[in-house]
């Protein structure tokens, strides 16, 4: 079978299979809108909090206004006891409770440190940390005002007091995620994971379906073509399809969601090539060992969460045990995510990701060789099955002839 015949048969097998088309095209486009949706506002804002002001002094009411003025918190409810605040918190599903203690103003005048209390549901970590950030910002600002006032009352000049009220000055500037938003942090890495997982599922559906037909005794072009031709054509077709889908993610989606992209186009394509080829080769290996095509989706989905935490953007790689990290690095998406984030989000030079680029090529070669062995083995088994079936038919035919002669 020629290269052209294999190519045409592969295209028909892919585009006439509704499961593959829905997974590859529908899945990629669907997730491009669904996944970033919860993070579209970048960070949680104006979280509703109930306040309990047990001091009711002018300064405590000023603190209320300062907390309410922060972009993170909205004081939507007021209670006159902690018990009443707890009831409102549960009934209206608020983000937290702020308690200003009694004698708040008096303690500040005496130079004591009053304690502000906050209660919230820490299971919603993003909301909880956002509200805490707003509380700490307002509390820190009021603390600075009190210190400056004391220094001025002791004879210090206002300008000098404003500069020297704290022994340490913090200058916080984000290096890569300038907006400190979750879209810029999560979406670029997850898009790579979506491309990887849907690519493997698509290839696995094709290979698993053909493998089931082989086990059922059916034939097809995949058993007649050279294993090398079948491997190269299948990998290149899926890599070409996902090259186009990758451009959709890195182009339209990044612009649509306002995600910064710093990589040079040529360098981006240079990294895409081994990533897509290695993922396609891995998918061929998975499809070749599956007895049914639907198992490809199950296996890939079960591995998604470990890969998210093992890729290094949610959980630091240095905190992952070395044996587990070694296993995870054998999956193409792990070095790919690290490489794309450094290149496209951090503005690294291509020389900085050369080790990851070589690792992807090594994975492409290793999985490609394994896939060739599996395809070759399948054709050998199919040939043995065909010969055995032919021998069985001949034996049955001879038995029929002998029985006819005897009769």
Torsion of CA 14, 16, 17, 20, to 10 degrees: 50
347 within some domain:
yes
Same domain (yes/no): 211, 92: no
Same domain (yes/no): 126, 199: no
pLDDT tens per residue, range 3-40: 898 899 999 999 998 989 999 999 899 888 887 776 66
Per-residue pLDDT, 407: 61
Per-residue pLDDT, 285: 92
What is the DSSP annotation of 269-305?
A: HHHHHHHHHHHHHHHHHHHHH-SSTTHHHHHHHHHHH
Domain end position, chosen among 164, 188, 220: 164
Same domain (yes/no): 24, 108: no
Q: Which of 125, 197, 140, 147 is nearest to 170 (CA)?
A: 140
Same domain (yes/no): 346, 201: yes
Same domain (yes/no): 186, 73: no
119 within some domain:
yes
DSSP 181: -
197 within some domain:
yes
406 within some domain:
no
Distances (CA, A) of 286 to 59, 108, 351: 67, 67, 32
366 within some domain:
yes
Distances (CA, A) of 132 to 30, 44, 97, 128, 340: 35, 12, 11, 6, 33
Domain end position, chosen among 108, 135, 164: 164
33 within some domain:
yes
DSSP 251: I
Same domain (yes/no): 115, 158: yes
Same domain (yes/no): 135, 224: no
Same domain (yes/no): 206, 118: no
Same domain (yes/no): 10, 59: no
Give pLDDT tens digits along the chain (407 positions). 788 988 999 999 999 989 899 999 998 998 888 877 766 665 677 888 898 988 888 888 888 888 888 888 888 888 888 888 888 888 888 888 888 888 888 887 777 778 888 888 777 777 777 788 888 888 777 777 777 676 666 776 666 666 665 555 666 666 666 666 677 777 888 899 999 999 999 999 998 888 888 877 777 888 888 889 999 999 999 999 999 999 999 888 888 888 878 888 888 899 999 999 999 999 999 988 888 888 888 888 888 888 888 887 777 777 888 888 889 889 999 999 999 988 888 888 889 899 999 999 999 999 999 999 998 888 887 767 665 665 666 666 666 666 666 66
146-151 own/partner pairs: CB under 8 Å, 24+ apart: 146/108
Residue 371 burial class via C-beta count within 10 angstroms: exposed 0-12, middle 13-18, buried 19 and up: buried
Domain end position, chosen among 164, 196, 213: 164
Bridge partners for 75 per DSSP: 49
Separation CA 150–CA 154 (nearest Å): 6
- 49 by DSSP, 3-state: which? strand
172 within some domain:
no
| Domain of residue 289, residue span | 3-38+180-392
Kindly report the CATH number assigned to the domain that includes residue 97: 3.40.1710.10
Same domain (yes/no): 29, 71: no
How many structural domains is the chain composed of? 2
Distances (CA, A) of 138 to 36, 66, 71, 276, 380: 31, 6, 11, 49, 73
Same domain (yes/no): 11, 104: no
407 within some domain:
no
Same domain (yes/no): 232, 335: yes
DSSP 351: G
Separation CA 339–CA 191 (nearest Å): 13
């Amino acid at each position: 079978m020629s290269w052209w015949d294999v190519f045409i048969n592969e295209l028909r097998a892919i585009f006439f299979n509704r499961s593959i088309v829905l997974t590859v095209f529908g899945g990629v486009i669907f997730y491009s809108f669904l996944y970033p949706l919860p993070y579209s506002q970048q960070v949680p804002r104006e979280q509703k909090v109930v306040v309990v002001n047990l001091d009711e002094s002018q300064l405590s009411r000023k603190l209320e206004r300062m907390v309410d003025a922060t972009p993170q918190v909205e004081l939507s409810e007021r209670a006159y006891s902690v018990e009443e605040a707890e009831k409102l918190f549960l009934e209206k599903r608020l983000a937290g409770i702020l308690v200003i203690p009694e004698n708040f103003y008096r303690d500040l005048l005496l130079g004591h440190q009053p304690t502000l209390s906050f209660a919230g549901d820490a299971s919603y970590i993003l909301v909880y940390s956002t509200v805490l950030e707003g509380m700490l910002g307002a509390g820190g600002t009021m603390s600075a005002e009190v210190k400056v006032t004391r220094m001025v009352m002791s004879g210090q000049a206002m300008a000098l007091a404003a500069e020297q009220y704290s022994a340490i000055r913090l200058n916080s500037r984000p290096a890569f995620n300038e907006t400190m938003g979750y879209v810029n942090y999560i979406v670029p890495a997850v898009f790579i994971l979506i491309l990887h997982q849907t690519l493997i599922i698509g290839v696995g559906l094709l290979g698993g379906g053909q493998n089931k037909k082989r086990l059922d005794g059916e034939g097809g072009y995949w058993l007649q073509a050279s294993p090398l031709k079948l491997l190269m054509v299948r990998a290149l077709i899926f890599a070409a399809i996902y090259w186009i889908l990758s451009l959709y993610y890195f182009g339209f989606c990044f612009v649509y969601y306002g995600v910064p992209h710093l990589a040079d186009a040529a360098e981006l394509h240079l990294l895409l090539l081994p990533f897509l080829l290695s993922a396609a080769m891995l998918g061929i290996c998975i499809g070749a060992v599956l007895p049914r095509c639907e198992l490809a989706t199950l296996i890939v989905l079960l591995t998604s969460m470990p890969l998210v935490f093992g890729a290094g953007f949610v959980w630091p790689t240095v905190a992952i045990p070395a044996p587990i990290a070694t296993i995870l690095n054998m999956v193409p998406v792990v070095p790919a995510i690290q490489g794309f984030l450094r290149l496209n989000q951090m503005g690294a030079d291509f020389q900085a990701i050369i080790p990851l680029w070589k690792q992807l090529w090594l994975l492409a070669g290793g999985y490609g060789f394994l896939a060739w062995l599996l395809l070759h083995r399948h054709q050998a088994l199919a040939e043995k099955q065909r010969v055995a079936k032919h021998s069985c038919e001949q034996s049955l035919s001879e038995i029929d002839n002998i029985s006819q002669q005897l009769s």
